[in-house]
Amino acid sequence: MRAFIFPGQGSQAVGMGAALAEASPVALETFQEVDEALGQHLFRLMREGPADELTLTENAQPAIMANAVAMLRVLEKEGGVSLADKADFVAGHSLGEYSALCAAGAIDLATTAKLLKLRGQAMQAAVPVGEGAMAALLGADGDKAQAIADEAAEGQVCTVANDNDPNQVVISGHREAVERAAALAKDKGVKRAVMLPVSAPFHCPLMQPAAQAMEKALADARIAPPLVPVYANVTAAPVSDPDTIKALLVEQVTGRVRWRESVLAMHAAGVGQFVEFGGKVLGPMVKRTAPDAETISVISMDDIEALLKII
């Protein structure tokens, strides 16, 4: 069995999509469709930068999605294959869950781009710059990370945001609390604590204003049953019902990204091959979680052609 997976924030880079668009009219059409939906020259920003503007949450989120979906569309339209025939499940990390839903036909491309633009703006606006922070704890599992976060909170918000793999957990919350947790981690046997260069504390209760904004936006969005089940971040379980998908996307803004558990659940369901579209971040996490699984990263036209030979 096979899962198609989609990366989250941090996978953006100046130049993304440029070579693919030159090689494929399908990819270029995808980027143009996103530009039209958003009313901005996002693809030009993806191609040319500047990097600091591309890294802004409201730009990075739709850009990463557009790049991943373009890769998949080239595979499908030029390779003559369909996701429904080649994938048993889809999943994505944080914003990647929207890419997965778009890929599986649950949300159309224009709506996905608009939702992610809004999501990025709402997440950025939820907490004043400088008040929140995130840190990666390397060499810690979820339980240890949460215990450290609880001890460091001291009345502030500090909690596990991303359970990525058995050795990498990200915490999020008020800056002072996250900094206390990072300092405390060294005394608790954590290999390393790294403050992350993010503009807001994602996936924690401080994001509640953004969750409310997304609840309103998703209420008006048309979501269809996906072609294959989507493993939801907050439950690490497959979902196909549109109303449930909407509710889980709202919960995801403040909730934990249970990526490690999602990989384990897909693996237990029989998935032996994970294909990552538009990034090479999730593959290593999958390998650390399910060492006997095969991982494939699709980030170029060559990768698409290589994939076509084996699926």
Hey, which residues are catalytic here? 94, 203
Tell me the CA distances in angstroms from 102 to 4, 47, 180, 199, 260, one per residue in order: 12, 22, 39, 26, 22
- The contacts found for 71-76 with CB under 8 angstroms, 24 or more apart, are 71/20, 71/27, 71/277, 71/278, 71/298, 71/299, 71/303, 71/304, 72/4, 72/103, 72/277, 73/26, 73/27, 73/30, 74/20, 74/24, 74/26, 74/27, 74/301, 74/304, 75/298, 75/304, 75/307, 75/308
First to last CA, the chain: 11
- Contact between residue 152 and residue 158 where contact means Cβ atoms under 8 Å apart: yes
Interaxial angle between packed helices 96-103 and 242-254, expressed in degrees from 0 to 180 and rounded to the nearest 10: 160
Among residues 114, 133, 284, 297, the alpha carbon closest in space to that of 214 is found at 114
Look at strands 230-231 and 132-138 and give their pairing: unpaired
